[in-house]
């Protein structure tokens, strides 16, 4: 399980306690009220970290935002394909192993795992040595955290922003700057769907 901040742990504990006594999880507004937060914006960042950690998942519905991921789901193996830079781009080194991940992380399109190298995504709760679960995809939306192949040579894990005539890869570390490329320099190889951390 990933390392949670105090606030993230507080949100997770609320969801766990409510799951035992209530049929529906709290709404975003109810969570804000219970946590003493003035806006959903600050809540959303903490919730996104819990989604990345595989502890909660989005819910369909007008105001019901998230629910706990079942902890009794079986684990399945997905291919472990090497390392990914969360810092300066590095050459991807492919290897053929497998890694066990909770069942909810294996749905959708084919998925694979990469080990993170670097600290450019630490503000998203993604640390050096973590394993990220990636859904294979050649396209992504603005705001997605993606595996980007740069100039057919190097791969990196960054948040995607697409603008006319350029693609911007944003780190999640205030000490680092965004990287700007021409669209033909970047090939999207997948979208972040989960995170695994071993202690």
Q: Please give the Cα distance from 134 to 157 (Å, whole number).
A: 10
Instruction: Please identify which of the residues 158, 163, 166, 182 carries the catalytic annotation.
Output: 158
Q: Please give the Cα distance from 194 to 53 (Å, whole number).
A: 6
Q: Please give the Cα distance from 100 to 75 (Å, whole number).
A: 6
Tally of helices (H runs) and strands (E runs) in the chain: 3, 12
Give the distance between the most distant pair of CA atoms in the chain: 53
Report helix angle 40-52 to 28-35, nearest 10: 110
Residue 42 falls in the annotated catalytic set: no
Q: Please give the Cα distance from 9 to 66 (Å, whole number).
A: 15
Instruction: Please identify which of the residues 70, 100, 120, 163 carries the catalytic annotation.
Output: 120
Strand 186-196 vs strand 145-150: parallel, antiparallel, or unpaired?
antiparallel
Q: Which residues are catalytic?
A: 120, 158
């Amino acid at each position: 399980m990933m390392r949670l901040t105090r606030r993230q742990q507080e949100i997770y504990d609320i969801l766990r306690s409510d799951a035992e006594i209530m049929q529906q999880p709290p709404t975003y507004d109810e969570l804000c009220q219970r946590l003493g937060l003035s806006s959903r914006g600050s809540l959303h960042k903490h919730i996104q970290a819990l989604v990345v950690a595989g502890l909660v998942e989005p819910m369909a519905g007008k105001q019901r935002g998230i629910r706990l991921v079942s902890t009794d789901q079986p684990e399945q193996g997905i291919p472990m394909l090497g390392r990914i830079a969360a810092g300066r781009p590095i050459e991807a080194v492919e290897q053929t192993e497998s890694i066990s991940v909770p069942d909810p992380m294996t749905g959708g399109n084919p998925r694979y795992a990469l080990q993170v190298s670097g600290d450019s995504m630490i503000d998203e709760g993604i640390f050096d040595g973590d394993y990220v679960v990636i859904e294979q995809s050649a396209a992504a939306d603005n705001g997605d955290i993606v595996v980007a192949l740069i100039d057919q040579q190097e791969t990196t894990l960054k948040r995607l922003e697409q603008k006319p005539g350029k693609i911007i890869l944003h780190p999640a570390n205030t000490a680092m700057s965004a990287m700007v490329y021409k669209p033909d320099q970047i090939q999207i190889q997948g979208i972040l769907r989960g995170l695994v951390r071993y202690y």
